[in-house]
Structure 1
Amino acid sequence: MPRVVPLVAIAGLVLALAACSTVADAPPRDASASFPTDARVDYQLGAAYPPAEGVTLVVRDRTAEPADGLYSICYVNAFQTQPGESDDWPDGTLLERDGEPVFDPDWPDERLVDTSTDEARRRVVEHVAAWIRGCAASGFQAVEFDNLDTFTRTDGALTFDDNAAVAAALVAAAHGAGLAAGQKNAAEFADRLRDAAGFDFAVAEECAAYGECSAYSDVYGAHVIDIEYTDQLPRSFAQMCADDATPTATVLRDRRLSTPDAAEYAFATCPPR
């Protein structure tokens, strides 16, 4: 039977890590209050580059600097490793089955994070909380946590409640550092994740292509960012932008998230409504 992590356990994990989650001179606040709901977005995980004129919100990897003068979101892969970074995670934080590491079936160079026990969750949150504090210290205003849905790829080794407990502690760490916290993907769990973890906004990939945008907007209202990709458009980007279900803060990018000097680079945004 699936394990159930009681709410008291989630609360305990949050409280246990609260003391180490605050950045000096950045008191907890309503981190979502200043989140822009009509932003022109650029999604720059491939590498940082000067945003196009008119861009007001930029998402960059936690290893990059935020965009100067713009609302900047820090990308953190919190529930599985980045390629080539498995050795950077502490002992006891990565999932194993029968002594063998467990990888994402679609991203075979990314190991899954272990959220299955109290001790594993504590170690994971301590590790990722340091990244969150680094995002705040660099000047980001918000953070998004990727791969919240790893539990769907483990045949029951992990559960929703396991990941929700970690998500709640990470959101608390973000809020303690003065950052808004964003759900990344996992459309079918948006309402449960918002209730369990207290996310402020959502970052969706291809919600217009797959008809999932309302799953986010029903929960987060206008606090939704969408990234569509040029290689999988069921209709034109202009038609997507004209659809009232598509978030205003939607950007079209190439799948590799290339820089402007690359041949495959693509960038377009929906006009304001």
Structure 2
Amino acid sequence: MTVRRALALLAATALLLAGCADQSAHPHDPPAGPQLPPAGAQLDYQLGGAYDPPDGVDIVVRDRTAASIDDLHSVCYVNGFQTQPGELDAWPDDLLLRDDEGQPIIDPDWPDEVILDTRKARDIAKVVEPWIRDCASDGFDAVEFDNLDTYTRTGGALSRDDALNLATLLVDIAHDVGLAAGQKNAAEDASFLHSRAGFDFAVVEECAAYEECSAYTEVYGDHVLAIDYTDNLPRPWDEVCADPVTPASVVLRDRDLVTPDDPGYVFETCG
């Protein structure tokens, strides 16, 4: 056997062994990536209580304590940056942001929610992770993380980088269990959060009222779920629908997001 032929056989054997090693290390194809909400599909936003969605709805957002809907793209709401009303006891004291006197700092816009100290992102993520995994095991397709912009209401105590660190951890957990991850509001940070934290789509409130819709669609395209409220509508709903900057998946709801059996219930789309 010539030296050249011997070297060729050795090289072929090495390639074969490497292939076998690769197959043992990766015996299965990687799972499919998270499924984004269908572009332009009709949306219902049900955080005030779960109910059978109106005909034509393809996407529904519900609280993590509610059930998903098998035939619809279901998005799970998680309050990742503040305590949820009635759930303060679920949080260790050292993860609550406190003032100079040691008192928990309450969000001025939401008097029943305490702000989390996002400088302790890894510890917060350990509390939130089981909720995200429950969303996946309960059949949800995606998760939205509320109050990303909490840092803007802390007088400088928390920073955007603190929010980014926590958001990145939460998005990674969501992706790990096969959920798409939605950015909630924070228009000024949309591009930054998409590129740095890895958010897949956006859930936005009152972008028509605050003229922020394009800030989201320029980043997420048709994968923007928009909710406007009757008490702060900037112009007639027909005009909002006709505006080319309004996201295709948009719904008009009552502020309290009540269920259809409540007299205050409002649900309108641009269909």
Q: TM-score, normalised by structure 2?
A: 0.87
Greater Rg by CA? 2
Indicate the residue corresponding to 2:144 in structure 1: 144
Indicate the residue corresponding to 1:182 in structure 2: 182
1:223 Cα shift? 0.6
User: Could you tell me whether the CA contact under 8 Å between 1:230 and 1:254 is conserved in 2?
Assistant: yes
Indicate the residue corresponding to 1:164 in structure 2: 164
The alignment partner of 1:103 has SS state of coil
* Match 1:106 to one of 75, 88, 109: 109
1:80 Cα shift? 0.3
1:29 Cα shift? 3.7
The alignment partner of 2:111 has SS state of strand
1:170 corresponds to which letter in structure 2?
Answer: L
CA displacement 1:95-118 (0-9 Å, x = unmatched): 1122110110111110001112xx
User: Could you tell me whether the CA contact under 8 Å between 2:208 and 2:234 is conserved in 1?
Assistant: no
Where in structure 2 are the equivalents of 1:186-225 lying within 5 Å? 186-225=186-225
User: Could you tell me whether the CA contact under 8 Å between 1:93 and 1:121 is conserved in 2?
Assistant: no
User: Could you tell me whether the CA contact under 8 Å between 2:122 and 2:169 is conserved in 1?
Assistant: no
The alignment partner of 1:251 has SS state of strand
Give the distance between the partners of 1:74 and 1:156, measured in 2 at CA.
30
Indicate the residue corresponding to 2:34 in structure 1: 31
1:88 Cα shift? 1.1
* Match 2:99 to one of 93, 97, 107: 97
Indicate the residue corresponding to 2:11 in structure 1: none
1:28 Cα shift? 5.3
Over the aligned positions, Cα root-mean-square deviation in angstroms equals 1.1
Give the distance between the partners of 2:240 and 2:262, measured in 1 at CA.
25
User: Could you tell me whether the CA contact under 8 Å between 1:145 and 1:182 is conserved in 2?
Assistant: yes
Structure 2, unmatched stretches of 5+, are 1-29
User: Could you tell me whether the CA contact under 8 Å between 1:29 and 1:175 is conserved in 2?
Assistant: no
Q: How many residue pairs get matched?
A: 241
Indicate the residue corresponding to 1:4 in structure 2: none
1:195 Cα shift? 1.6
1:210 Cα shift? 1.4
User: Could you tell me whether the CA contact under 8 Å between 2:37 and 2:59 is conserved in 1?
Assistant: no
Give the distance between the partners of 1:50 and 1:209, measured in 2 at CA.
28
User: Could you tell me whether the CA contact under 8 Å between 1:229 and 1:255 is conserved in 2?
Assistant: yes
1:100 corresponds to which letter in structure 2?
Answer: Q
User: Could you tell me whether the CA contact under 8 Å between 1:125 and 1:169 is conserved in 2?
Assistant: yes
Identity of aligned residues (%): 60
Give the distance between the partners of 1:29 and 1:89, measured in 2 at CA.
34
Give the distance between the partners of 1:250 and 1:185, measured in 2 at CA.
14
1:156 Cα shift? 1.3
Give the distance between the partners of 1:130 and 1:90, measured in 2 at CA.
15
User: Could you tell me whether the CA contact under 8 Å between 2:151 and 2:163 is conserved in 1?
Assistant: yes
CA displacement 1:157-176 (0-9 Å, x = unmatched): 11000110010010000000
* Match 2:54 to one of 44, 52, 77: 52
Give the distance between the partners of 1:261 and 1:158, measured in 2 at CA.
41
* Match 1:115 to one of 113, 118, 124: 118
The alignment partner of 1:42 has SS state of strand
Give the distance between the partners of 2:130 and 2:270, measured in 1 at CA.
35
1:197 Cα shift? 0.4
Indicate the residue corresponding to 2:239 in structure 1: 239
Give the distance between the partners of 1:201 and 1:89, measured in 2 at CA.
28
Give the distance between the partners of 2:57 and 2:112, measured in 1 at CA.
33
Q: Which structure is richer in relative contact order (CA contacts within 8 A, separation 6 or more)? A: 1
Give the distance between the partners of 1:257 and 1:248, measured in 2 at CA.
20
Give the distance between the partners of 1:144 and 1:166, measured in 2 at CA.
14
1:232 Cα shift? 1.1
The alignment partner of 2:183 has SS state of strand
1:35 Cα shift? 2.6
